[in-house]
Amino acid sequence: QKEVEQNSGPLSVPEGAIASLNCTYSDRGSQSFFWYRQYSGKSPELIMFIYSNGDKEDGRFTAQLNKASQYVSLLIRDSQPSDSATYLCAVITYKLSFGAGTTVTVRA
Amino acid sequence: GAVVSQHPSRVICKSGTSVKIECRSLDFQATTMFWYRQFPKQSLMLMATSNEGSKATYEQGVEKDKFLINHASLTLSTLTVTSAHPEDSSFYICSAYKTGLSYGYTFGSGTRLTVV
């Protein structure tokens, strides 16, 4: 079982719509969860981090964590073409482990 | 802030030669740095954890004699790919952990290695 799994995508959404990204993790003891955005050929950049169950909002981004279900998600509201990228879910176990990423394309 | 500088951003080398990649923490001291490798359309895979003043800890399946890591100071870690082969061509990314930051990890800009 992979440590971090994401829906593979690609995910295509029209401009202005909500993009919903999902991630599950295997280590029930994980405490810290991150969403990174990675443009092609670039290094990942942090979008959100979340430690507690529930929702955390930052601008157009909302992260949701459910530790009982070992599930973390990212919502992107009012999607813009500049949001087109690969989104990586990452979880800290004894290391920072990444999911395979979900590629999002926002259609103008 | 927490800035990590990685050089070079791109390098092309001949098969059989060695390449050194540098990772520097610019505004903080990093006792621990991490080296990742990313193949096209795949996720980041941790190669090794670099510990200042001691030996690096390598992940399973990573050849420590091929990927030499040196963390001689609190602001610099280097990864040397020795006797590079075309299959070593990849995107290498370093990361450093800054204590006190709620999110901890900051990434370098990455190095695109092409072995010809």
List pLDDT tens digits, range B13-63: 999 999 999 999 998 888 889 999 999 888 899 999 998 888 999 999 999
Task: Using the predicted structure, report yes or no on whether residue B104 has a pLDDT greater than 90.
Answer: no
B43 vs A46, A95, A99: nearest CB: A99
Cα–Cα distance, B1 to B3 (Å, whole number): 6
Cα separations in angstroms, A47 against A37, A108, B48, B114:
6, 22, 24, 29
Residues of B within 8 A of A89 (CB-CB) are none
Question: Omega before A81 cis (within 30°)?
Answer: no
For residue B99, what pLDDT band results from cuts at 50, 70 and 90? confident
Residues A64-106 have pLDDT tens digits of 999 999 999 999 999 999 999 999 999 987 788 999 999 999 9
The answer for residues whose C-beta is within 8 angstroms of residue B35's C-beta and 6 or more apart is B23, B46, B47, B48, B49, B50, B67, B69, B77, B79, B92, B93, B94, B95
Give pLDDT, residue B30: 87
Interface check for B11 against chain A (CB to CB < 8 A): the answer is no
Instruction: Name the B residues in 27-86 with CB < 8 Å from any A CB.
Output: 34, 42-46, 49
Q: Can you give the pLDDT at residue B35?
A: 96
Query: Cβ of A52 under 8 Å from any chain B Cβ?
Result: no
Q: What is the DSSP letter of A95?
A: S
pLDDT of residue A31: 86
Answer whether residue A40 shows pLDDT above 80: yes
Task: Specify whether the CB–CB gap between A18 and A80 falls below 8 A.
Answer: no
